[in-house]
Amino acid sequence: MRQIRPTRPNAVVLAGLTSALLVLAGCSSGSSTGAASGSASNEKVTLQMWSWSGAPGKDALARAITAYEKLHPNVTIVDNEVNNDDFKAKVPLALNSNQEIDVLAVQPNLFAQQIQGKLLATSAWTGFDAATLGKFSDETIAQNKKLFTDGKLYSIPMALSGSAVGFYNVDLLKKVGAQPPKTWADVAALAKLLKAKAPGVTPVVMPSGSDSWFLDEFVLTLTGQADPTFFDDVRYKNGKWNTPAYVNALKAYQGLFASGAIDKSTSDLNYANAMSTFFSGKAAMVFNGSWESTMLSDEYRKTNKINISNIGVLPVPALTDPSQRSLRSFLDVTLGIPKSAKHVQQAADFITFMSAGAGVNEWASTLGEIPAVKGWTAPAGVLGTPEEQQGFAEIQALIASPHSDRNNLSAFSGAAGNKILTVINGADVGKVAAAMQSDLDSGKYS
């Protein structure tokens, strides 16, 4: 049979065209972000904001943006929320390619140092009133300065968080006739009480299992209660990890399972399961971070079909002395202006509105993030019961006077958490702490 073959010139032209089209297609994906506009006060301006999911969340941010746009009809703010897991990777690439970002949520950890060179110092923010900084506590400003290598401010605080903190089911504790525990001995007693009066209800849950990073947070809270300088020594002064205080905290944590204060059967609960166990009334208390304070809002509970009518807050109980109860806290969200920003003056004004102005009430009423501005109280109606009102105030007080900074060591937290899981199963605490020290000394996490 005769084969139909393309003539050679046709084949060459076809192949050439295909190559050219593909190359053109590959090259045409980029697009301009729009021309720079001036900064005259009544000129239409569009601010590009980049934040990560949950800081403080799309809905909360949308409320604040709407409020700002009402006050400034010539300003439009586009919120580009990036998934939390992708934020660290996407932002540096965007900044390196000079993408227009006017307002950037800066994560308060090593990330801040990594992008420091791409940020404008607050002293260079056109129209920024330096008196705004006086609306934050000295401690908060000091924490913000620690984020950067030269002691200058390149972002200003927006929200704080702390960990670990406890939330308890008020009605359940009342039902069995117990008070919120102040020490772990109280928790062990509560466990016995629950066994007798509310079988099937476990005293304590917290994220563990595949979310064992929280165990690192928890043991660091116990350590800090006994030795408030421990974490800051490790974080800022190259101090040792396997100190007697840390080893004792690990041992005490191991002992909590032996005493029955924590049921070993809860050690495989991941984040979601720990929370759902508490929300379904099968646990009297849940330990987590202050970011879970959203559960104090009745509206949040209704929306998420959580059938608990009253939730209280308690610090992580002390091993012996209740006056030692405290936590680690740090900045959770800060706001900065990249050097590539087109509208610095408007960005600075919006940041002031969000961090220390009327915008705070808009985004903070969901309670997930604790405003960094001094003296903020939740708007009326957000917190229903006296326990919830006291609880939120308790969280604010704990965050305001931490035993150390919650300026985590990133990947090391996850690795440490996995090692702490072995402690629950009876591993030698001294060896576990030594292994963590060895990990830190190796330099692979820095």
Residue ranges that bind other proteins, judged by CB under 8 A: 8, 11-12, 15-16, 18-19, 22-23, 26, 85, 88-89, 92-93, 95-96, 107, 109-111, 114-115, 117, 208-212, 264-270, 273, 277, 409-411, 414-415, 417-419, 421-422, 424-425, 427, 439, 442-446
- Compute the chain's Rg from CA coordinates: 26
Residue 114 Cβ, how far from other proteins at the closest point, in Å? 4
The CB density around residue 138, as the number of other CB atoms within 10 Å, is 9
Closer residue to other proteins, CB minimum distance, 386 or 426: 426
Residue 235 Cβ, how far from other proteins at the closest point, in Å? 12
Closer residue to other proteins, CB minimum distance, 335 or 367: 335
HEC string of 231-256 equals: HHHHHHHCCCCCCHHHHHHHHHHHHH
Give the residues across from 104 on adjacent strands. Answer: 50, 336
Residue 34 Cβ, how far from other proteins at the closest point, in Å? 24
Closer residue to other proteins, CB minimum distance, 212 or 324: 212
b or e along 411-441 (b: 16 or more beta carbons within 10 Å of the residue's beta carbon)?
Answer: ebbebbbebbbebbeebebeebbebbbebbe
b or e along 312-329 (b: 16 or more beta carbons within 10 Å of the residue's beta carbon)?
Answer: bbbbbbbbeeeebbbbbb
Angle between helix axes 230-237 and 213-226 (nearest 10 degrees) is 110
Residue 198: exposure state from Cβ atoms within 10 A (0-12, 13-18, ≥19)? middle
Residue 346 Cβ, how far from other proteins at the closest point, in Å? 26
Closer residue to other proteins, CB minimum distance, 43 or 86: 86
Residue 178 Cβ, how far from other proteins at the closest point, in Å? 22
Closer residue to other proteins, CB minimum distance, 21 or 397: 21
Which residues, including other chains, have CB under 8 Å from residue 33's CB and lie 6 or more apart?
48, 99, 100
Residue 329 Cβ, how far from other proteins at the closest point, in Å? 18
Three-state DSSP state, 390: helix
Closer residue to other proteins, CB minimum distance, 306 or 382: 306
Closer residue to other proteins, CB minimum distance, 79 or 263: 263
Residue 99: exposure state from Cβ atoms within 10 A (0-12, 13-18, ≥19)? middle
Give the residues across from 80 on adjacent strands. Answer: 50
Residue 306 Cβ, how far from other proteins at the closest point, in Å? 18
Task: Report H helices in 135-183.
Answer: 138-146, 170-176
Closer residue to other proteins, CB minimum distance, 147 or 356: 147
Q: Nearest 5°: CA angle at 210, between 204 and 211?
A: 60
Question: From CA 162, how far away is CA 208, in angstroms rounded?
Answer: 18
Residue 423 Cβ, how far from other proteins at the closest point, in Å? 9
